């Protein structure tokens, strides 16, 4: 009997209570909130759980790129990290789970005209291979229909595991599956966490962007307790970094004070190249392969690989 089924007469337990709990403060076992001071000072670190990747039977790493705040370069990181892995010889699948479809658009596709997408995979249970497009890397596309996925999923039994089950068909074909999630902590993001072996969090180098990290970890803690005990934060990526400003440097210092080794050393700096590349339907590695922007994601890919190896052999 699965964890989402029950015997006759048993109380049926779904994930609704856990999702509803996100709207109210957690009174017990919640990590202390991150204090964002006017200047960097020592502060007690929140209880983030660093997670050594625990691949499934096939050895595939499924990484969710998540942050409930929008505009933090989540899609940019998903695409360029995936292309960097492919350059290194790995088999890569990207999954666009964001109803905005920015990852799909970044590869030259129009989400408004796509007839079959991740919505159909999650809700209508079609094979995920039917929505994979061959681009710079393999891409499971999003369409405008995905905006209604949360409502449609709410009526389904086992709705939190829809993506996990869909990936079983193709999991052994890839070394990395990277999931671009919506800027929220709703059912689509929960699906990504349940399917994932780890989470990477892109964080804009601004004070206000740091505040959502504890809420994200609270969500992960609930997923670990109820649905996927192995998922945790693999790393935090500082994005939109401008070393010329004191504000950005202090924000990174606060990240490192609170989250330590979880913060990758690579800084994704502000550059117009990240905006120009999607116009051409390309990653920045394809658009400007010898530029500093492309090199930053190559360095990040090495960190993700080597950091995982270091934790596995610690």
Kindly tell me the burial class for residue 155, based on how many C-beta atoms sit within 10 Å of its own C-beta (0-12, 13-18, 19 or more).
Answer: exposed
User: pLDDT tier at 88 (50, 70, 90 boundaries)?
Assistant: very high
CATH number of residue 253's parent domain:
3.40.50.300
pLDDT, tens digit (0-9, with 9 covering 90-100), for 108-134: 999 999 999 999 999 999 999 999 999
**pLDDT (0 to 100) of residue 79:** 98
Q: Per-residue DSSP letters for 246-277? A: HHHHHHHHHHHHHHGGGB-S---B--THHHHH
| Model pTM score | 0.80
Total structural domains in the chain? 1
pLDDT, tens digit (0-9, with 9 covering 90-100), for 241-298: 888 888 888 889 989 998 999 999 999 998 999 999 999 999 999 999 999 999 999 9
Strand partners, 64: 179, 199
Domain that holds residue 125: 44-312
pLDDT, tens digit (0-9, with 9 covering 90-100), for 12-59: 555 455 445 444 444 445 455 545 444 443 334 444 544 544 433 348
């Amino acid at each position: 009997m699965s964890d989402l089924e029950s015997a006759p007469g048993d109380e049926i337990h779904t994930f609704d209570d856990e999702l509803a709990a996100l709207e109210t403060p957690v009174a017990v076992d919640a990590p202390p909130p991150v204090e964002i001071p006017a200047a960097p000072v020592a502060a007690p670190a929140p209880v983030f759980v660093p997670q050594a990747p625990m691949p499934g039977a096939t050895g595939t790493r499924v990484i969710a790129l998540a942050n409930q705040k929008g505009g933090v370069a989540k899609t940019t990181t998903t695409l360029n990290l995936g292309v960097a892995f492919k350059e290194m010889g790995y088999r890569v699948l990207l999954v666009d789970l964001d109803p905005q479809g920015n990852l799909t658009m970044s590869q030259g596709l129009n989400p408004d005209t796509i007839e079959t997408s991740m919505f159909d995979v999650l809700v209508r249970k079609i094979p995920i291979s039917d929505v994979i497009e061959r681009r710079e890397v393999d891409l499971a596309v999003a369409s405008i229909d995905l905006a209604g996925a949360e409502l449609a999923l709410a009526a389904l039994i086992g709705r939190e595991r829809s993506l996990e089950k869909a990936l079983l068909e193709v999991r052994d074909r890839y070394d990395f599956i990277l999931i671009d999630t919506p800027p929220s902590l709703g059912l689509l993001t929960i699906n990504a966490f349940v399917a994932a072996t780890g989470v990477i969090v892109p964080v804009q180098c601004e004070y206000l962007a740091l505040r959502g990290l504890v809420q994200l970890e609270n969500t992960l803690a609930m997923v670990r307790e109820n649905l996927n005990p192995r998922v945790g934060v693999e790393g935090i990526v500082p994005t939109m970094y401008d070393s010329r400003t004191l504000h950005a440097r202090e924000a990174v210092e606060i990240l490192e004070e609170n989250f330590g080794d979880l913060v990758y050393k690579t800084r994704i700096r502000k550059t117009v190249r990240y905006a120009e590349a999607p116009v051409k339907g390309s990653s920045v590695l394809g658009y400007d392969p010898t530029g500093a922007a492309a090199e930053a994601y190559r360095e990040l890919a090495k960190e993700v690989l080597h950091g995982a190896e270091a934790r596995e052999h610690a």
